[in-house]
Structure 1
Amino acid sequence: MVELEFQQKTKALIDSLKSICANYGLGNDGNEFKIITQTFLYKFLNDKFAFEAKKLDETIAKAPKWEEAITSMSEDDIDMLQLQMGGDTARLKPQHFISYLFGKQNAPDFAKLFDDTLMDIAITNNDVFAVKTDGGAKVVLFDRISQYIADDSKRDAFCRAIINKLVEFSFERIFTQKFDFYATIFEYLIKDYNSNSGSKYAEYFTPHAVARIMAEILVPKAERGTVKNVACYDPSAGSGTLLMNVAHAIGENRCSIYTQDISQKSSSLLRLNLILNNLVHSIPNVIQGNTVLHPYHKDGKNLKRFDYIVSNPPFKLNFSDFRDDLYTKENKERFFAGIPKVPPKDKDKMAIYQLFLQHIIASLKANGKAAVVVPTGFITAQSGIDKDIRKYLVTNKMLAGVVSMPSNIFATTGTNVSILFIDASNKGDVVLVDASNLGDKVKDGKNQKTVLSAAEEQQIIDVFNAKQAMEDFSVVVSYEEIAAKNYSLSAGQYFDVKIEYVDITPEQFAQKMQGFTHNLDGLFSQSRELEAEIKKQLAGLKYAK
């Protein structure tokens, strides 16, 4: 009941913040998402600080107003309190509290005070909460929010409207909630920002069905509790949906997250997702940059290798402007199957996922596991880079299997997708699942998508993890069988061809044959009539100047 109540209150807060933006001319503006996500984050950090302070100090917990109890403490006592809180709680000063700003809202230049407060919080927490670029620069927690209001005479009122919404309730009672609660909140928070200037960027947001299937197969329930001190990586992380699911399966305190993504927007969303999901310790590993051209995570000069890798890489993206830069000595081993050619007409059709897939294989530990979303065409291509990658995986015996998903599992693309599971330690059989017939078609705005039920998701997971063959659904094959099928990873090519036999009497057989003969006689007769009509029409054609 508490969970449902606070989900509703949290969503109401998000809606209220969006309404404020709309009232000040920022509805659907490119900067609206920055204001909403950063304001939400400020509220979350403020209430998390209060929650931790009350756990540590009984006087603060019993005080009618916790902020006043902390303000009355000496600087040394406040510093000691914050040291006890640990690294996942932001360091805040009394003048950073929402209640302090609420009390100052009628002061002149309130917008400047509001912005200065957020910037000071960002600077104070820069070492822990800043995202880095591949060039080493730090992207801090907050911007100056009021700058997005073009009319500076309205900035004070805008910031007052925000601060008045932030004091209406506290998150404190929900900090004991787990991943599923925050996943729902995070998805609601960014649902209107899963676009960029009107064009969808589906690579940043993966459906939860896909994310859950990947996590449950990579980290089966039977292995939970035994996995610890592992490194999880996504080279095209987006907002982090895949990594959050894997971290939840392993245990947030048992793993470290490493990411890279070229988008500054998605890196900021990923940071927020890590904060919400108790993975603050991994924020220093969040890198905004070009993974294909400048992979950041390394051990010395070599790529860092990871225990778990998940990725939903872009399938088609123009990288022709830096393609020639990929031909280096260091990349020869990384891109072992080759670099995609530039299409003669449409450069946006470049198969960039082939580069990400090779990068993932090169970044995997000797006993590591990976799950990658690929276009279904990858699993059956008869030649080229796709086939060379599959051949490499089979020859080196590092496949776990493939799940071919239903069409439109991503509402924003009609491309059929499959999930490729790589397991460098699997020297035995491989599981191929054809889940293309599962799910129900539903409308998602102007698009249609396929939604799997919880039971269907579980069926895929259970069959794969048990290496179970199921008629017209899954097969278990050897590496030798895959090689004999030209390295095809499509389950359908391994299904048995079924011929149904029906017992009939000689009289029934004669009757069926008579029926076939009668039908053929009719078709042949129609054919002769059609031939005669065509000849007649041709004979009637005359030349005219």
Structure 2
Amino acid sequence: LVGKFAADAGNTAQEFYTNRTVVQLIAEILQPQPNESIYDPTCGSGGMLVKCLDYLRNKGAEWQSVQVFGQEVNGLTSSIARMNLYLNGVEDFSIACADTLEHPAFLDGSHLRKFDIVLANPPYSIKEWNREKFMNDKWGRNFLGTPPQGRADYAFFQHIIASMDRNTGRCAILFPHGVLFRDEEYELRKKLVEIDIVDCVIGLGPNLFFNASMEACIIICKNRKEDSHKGKVIFIDAKGEVSRKNAESYLENTHIQKIISAYENFEDIEYFAKVADINDIDNNKSLLSIQSYVKQKGTNEIYILDESLPKWIEASRSMHIEVANLLSMLKYE
């Protein structure tokens, strides 16, 4: 049904749901508990919320005491989310239809309401948003700074962090890799590293999103890190942990357990995981890109600039000639 709505609207289904195996990975990392509150500020059809409850169901734990909250800007999609939760037996839920950045729906007096778990797959790098209003946000969500107009990713990021409970709050966010290294967001990223809430960065494989070949990452944050995690971030390169069948990519249980094991052990694994000190990250231009810390296989070759640059220029020139030839052939036809 959700896929049908996506096709009729001419959209990719990412607007409506996130790959279920990726959400399973997120749920197993966040480990929701009975009586906790779960919030998705860009909830789509509510699939991420349902999957968190499934985590408890599959463990035989009491799940009906969990409070579920979601916000979605699309009216049709928010209606689907309500239906989805209702059909999955969820009774204590609230789904609001409004723009999360413009009008956050869940408040506690003059502050944002706080939740034990926040998880989200926000719209990537949107350009149409009210940056000026966010610059003077009355809810205090610009504590890292104001993101550039062309990319609202860190606006959603700050909203999510601001919505985490001070003691139990933890989050998992699906983002494009650009948030980990883009120069225009350097100052925001630097402050993010310094406040020491980023716990883990996981790089996912390609084609895990409907009609999109892009690779995404999961950023895990905690307000109260374990003592052994304080002042550190673990980077996990899981882009090879993916299977494909019938034109659909997914994480197998072995992939999920390998990632979970690396996260829980919080130790270096050659070519897969690296624990980095936040001081080293800060000295490395506050880069959070996984390849900056996890050594890649087959990357031991050293390139000399004076020798490599002319080769690159020649390859680039040849590529432009070939593209021009192709375009002229297409026009001719």
TM-score higher than 0.5: yes
Which among 15, 20, 37 is matched to residue 231 of structure 1? Answer: 37
Which among 211, 219, 226 is matched to residue 23 of structure 2? Answer: 211
| SS of corresponding position for 2:92 | helix
Q: Partner residue of 1:336?
A: 143
| SS of corresponding position for 2:27 | helix
What aligned pairs does 1:133-532 form with structure 2 within 5 A after superposition? 189-219=1-31, 227-250=33-56, 251-282=62-93, 285-320=94-129, 322-331=130-139, 333-342=140-149, 350-367=150-167, 368-381=169-182, 383-385=183-185, 387-426=186-225, 427-442=230-245, 444=247, 450-495=249-294
How big is the shift at 1:497? 8.0
Asked whether the equivalents of residues 442 and 450 of structure 1 are also in contact (C-alpha less than 8 Å), the reply is yes
Instruction: Determine the C-alpha separation between the residues in 2 that align with 1:291 and 1:497.
Output: 38
How big is the shift at 1:480? 2.1
Residues 390 and 272 of structure 1, relative CA distance in 2, 3 Å threshold = same
| SS of corresponding position for 1:365 | coil
Deviations 1:299-344 (A, max 9, x none): 0011111110000000033425x4434343515x3123344444xx
Residues 497 and 269 of structure 1, relative CA distance in 2, 3 Å threshold = closer
| SS of corresponding position for 1:253 | coil
Greater relative contact order structure (CA < 8 Å, 6+ sep): 2
AA at the equivalent of 2:83: L
Instruction: Determine the C-alpha separation between the residues in 1 that align with 2:213 and 2:295.
Output: 29
How big is the shift at 1:280? 1.5
Asked whether the equivalents of residues 472 and 492 of structure 1 are also in contact (C-alpha less than 8 Å), the reply is no
Residue-pair matches, total:
290
Residues 496 and 315 of structure 1, relative CA distance in 2, 3 Å threshold = closer
Residues 335 and 438 of structure 1, relative CA distance in 2, 3 Å threshold = same
Residues 277 and 299 of structure 1, relative CA distance in 2, 3 Å threshold = same
Deviations 1:156-201 (A, max 9, x none): xxxxxxxxxxxxxxxxxxxxxxxxxxxxxxxxx4232233532325
AA at the equivalent of 1:290: D
How big is the shift at 1:492? 2.5
Structure 2: 5+ residue runs without aligned partners? 57-61, 300-333
Instruction: Determine the C-alpha separation between the residues in 1 that align with 2:144 and 2:161.
Output: 11
What TM-score do the two structures reach when normalised by structure 2? 0.79
Instruction: Determine the C-alpha separation between the residues in 1 that align with 2:45 and 2:86.
Output: 12
Higher helix share: 1
What TM-score do the two structures reach when normalised by structure 1? 0.50
| SS of corresponding position for 2:15 | helix
| SS of corresponding position for 1:209 | helix
How big is the shift at 1:295? 0.5
Structure 1: 5+ residue runs without aligned partners? 1-188, 343-349, 501-545
Asked whether the equivalents of residues 40 and 49 of structure 2 are also in contact (C-alpha less than 8 Å), the reply is yes
Residues 492 and 341 of structure 1, relative CA distance in 2, 3 Å threshold = closer
Q: Partner residue of 1:99?
A: none
Deviations 1:421-455 (A, max 9, x none): 001111253221001122234564xxxx5332221
| SS of corresponding position for 1:425 | coil
| SS of corresponding position for 2:217 | strand
AA at the equivalent of 1:258: F
Residues 499 and 233 of structure 1, relative CA distance in 2, 3 Å threshold = closer
Residues 389 and 308 of structure 1, relative CA distance in 2, 3 Å threshold = farther
Residues 411 and 201 of structure 1, relative CA distance in 2, 3 Å threshold = closer
Q: Partner residue of 2:314?
A: none
How big is the shift at 1:216? 0.4
Deviations 1:119-173 (A, max 9, x none): xxxxxxxxxxxxxxxxxxxxxxxxxxxxxxxxxxxxxxxxxxxxxxxxxxxxxxx
How big is the shift at 1:217? 0.5
AA at the equivalent of 1:435: A
Instruction: Determine the C-alpha separation between the residues in 1 that align with 2:73 and 2:160.
Output: 16
Asked whether the equivalents of residues 64 and 91 of structure 2 are also in contact (C-alpha less than 8 Å), the reply is no
Instruction: Determine the C-alpha separation between the residues in 1 that align with 2:34 and 2:243.
Output: 37
| SS of corresponding position for 1:217 | helix
Residues 229 and 453 of structure 1, relative CA distance in 2, 3 Å threshold = closer
Instruction: Determine the C-alpha separation between the residues in 2 that align with 1:338 and 1:410.
Output: 30
How big is the shift at 1:236? 0.2
Residues 190 and 482 of structure 1, relative CA distance in 2, 3 Å threshold = same
Asked whether the equivalents of residues 237 and 294 of structure 2 are also in contact (C-alpha less than 8 Å), the reply is no
Asked whether the equivalents of residues 358 and 389 of structure 1 are also in contact (C-alpha less than 8 Å), the reply is no
Asked whether the equivalents of residues 252 and 278 of structure 1 are also in contact (C-alpha less than 8 Å), the reply is no
Deviations 1:194-228 (A, max 9, x none): 33532325132100121011110111xxxx7xx33
AA at the equivalent of 1:275: Y
Asked whether the equivalents of residues 376 and 417 of structure 1 are also in contact (C-alpha less than 8 Å), the reply is yes
In percent, how many aligned pairs have the same letter? 27
Deviations 1:51-96 (A, max 9, x none): xxxxxxxxxxxxxxxxxxxxxxxxxxxxxxxxxxxxxxxxxxxxxx
Residues 195 and 499 of structure 1, relative CA distance in 2, 3 Å threshold = closer
What aligned pairs does 1:119-130 form with structure 2 within 5 A after superposition? none
Instruction: Determine the C-alpha separation between the residues in 1 that align with 2:210 and 2:124.
Output: 15
| SS of corresponding position for 2:291 | helix
